């Protein structure tokens, strides 16, 4: 017995409708894409809920403006990055909010003028870096600088009862620097003559340094300081 023509048409129409519906869904939901090179914000909080660090990453390296704060909320450091290297102005602050140091860098190396200040705002040191100096600049770190070695050394003379013959090795002193740049401890590690060590010893405490920055904060550090003698006239 022949089926009614309508019964043969309905399955075909139903199949076509399903196909059109499936195509429509596919068109409205394109595959998800991810931009790996897009900037991604990063932030770290202290246990007290205050911001510790914020900045951006691109392709897993630092980019743009980065900031770091002390637990008190005062800003500790700020720098701009390009392709993972510090590029532009780099600034450090004391825990109380006074500017500690500031200068510029290019490609991760210091360039141009850098200045250090005391907590009271007095300028301690100013240096100009040339590209050939190749002094690296790192996030969260600032190596201490000696401020007055020439002045202290000028006070020390070669013992007058000794006859100087040629250049002698310097007196080497190991110094522990406090968070404010003062000498906390010292020891003479080597000296060509005992009399030279004796001449240097009373003047070691007169040395002054810029604060050493480690992990974004002023910190104590040991440094080696050479004392060269001048000839008495």
Model confidence over 182-229: pLDDT tens digits?
Answer: 999 999 999 988 989 999 999 999 999 999 999 999 999 999 999 987
- In the chain, domain spans: 40-138, 149-227
Share of the chain above pLDDT 70, in %: 79
Q: What is the mean pLDDT of residues 90-107?
A: 96
pLDDT of res. 43: 96
Please state the rounded mean pLDDT for residues 12-28. Answer: 40
Residue 102 sits at φ, ψ, to 5 deg, of -155, 145
pLDDT in tens, 30-84: 444 455 568 999 999 999 999 999 999 999 999 999 999 999 999 999 999 999 9
Give this prediction's pTM: 0.77
Report pLDDT digits (tens) over 107-144.
999 999 999 999 999 999 999 999 888 899 999 999 99
pLDDT (0 to 100) of residue 58: 94
Cβ(66)–Cβ(90) under 8 Å? no
Report the pLDDT value the prediction gives residue 181, as an integer from 0 to 100. 93
d(CA 230, CA 228) in angstroms, rounded, equals 7
What is the pLDDT, as a whole number, of residue 115?
98
Contact 86, 114 (CB under 8 A): no
Pick the CATH number of 40-138 from 3.40.50.1970, 3.30.70.20, 3.40.50.620, 3.90.930.1: 3.90.930.1
Place of tokens 């595959």: 31
Query: Rounded to whole angstroms, what are the CA distances from 20 to 9, 23, 27, 29, 108?
Result: 17, 5, 11, 15, 58
Classified by CATH at the fold level, domain 149-227 comes out as TolA/TonB C-terminal domain (3.30.2420)
CA–CA separation, 65 and 51 (whole Å): 15
For the segment 136-158, what is each residue's pLDDT rounded down to a tens digit?
A: 999 999 999 999 999 999 888 77
Q: State the average pLDDT for the chain.
A: 85
Q: What local confidence, expressed as pLDDT, does residue 19 receive?
A: 38
When pLDDT is cut at 50, 70 and 90, the band that residue 168 belongs to is: confident
What is the pLDDT at residue 228? 87
**Is 40-138's fold the same as 149-227's?**
no
Q: Residue 33 gets which letter from DSSP?
A: -
């Amino acid at each position: 017995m022949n089926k009614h023509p309508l019964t043969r048409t309905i399955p075909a129409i139903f199949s076509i409708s399903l196909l059109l519906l499936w195509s429509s869904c596919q068109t409205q939901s394109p595959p998800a894409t991810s931009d790996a090179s897009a900037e991604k914000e990063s932030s770290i909080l202290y246990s007290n809920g205050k911001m510790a660090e914020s900045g951006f990453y691109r392709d897993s390296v630092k980019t743009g403006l980065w900031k770091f704060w002390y637990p008190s909320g005062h800003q500790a450091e700020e720098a701009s990055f390009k392709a993972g290297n510090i590029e532009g102005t780099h600034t450090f602050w004391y825990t109380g909010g006074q500017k500690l140091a500031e200068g510029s860098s290019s490609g991760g190396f210091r360039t141009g003028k850098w200045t250090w200040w005391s907590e009271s705002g007095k300028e301690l040191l100013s240096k100009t870096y040339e590209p050939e100096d190749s002094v690296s600049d790192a996030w969260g770190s600032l190596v201490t600088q000696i401020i007055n070695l020439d002045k202290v050394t000028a006070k020390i003379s070669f013992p007058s009862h000794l006859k100087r013959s040629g250049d002698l090795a310097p007196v080497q002193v190991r110094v522990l620097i406090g968070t404010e740049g003062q000498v906390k401890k010292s020891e003479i590690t080597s000296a060509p003559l005992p009399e030279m060590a004796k001449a240097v010893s009373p003047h070691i405490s007169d040395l002054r340094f810029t604060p050493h920055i480690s992990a974004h904060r002023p910190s104590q550090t040991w440094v080696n300081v050479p004392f060269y003698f001048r000839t008495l006239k």
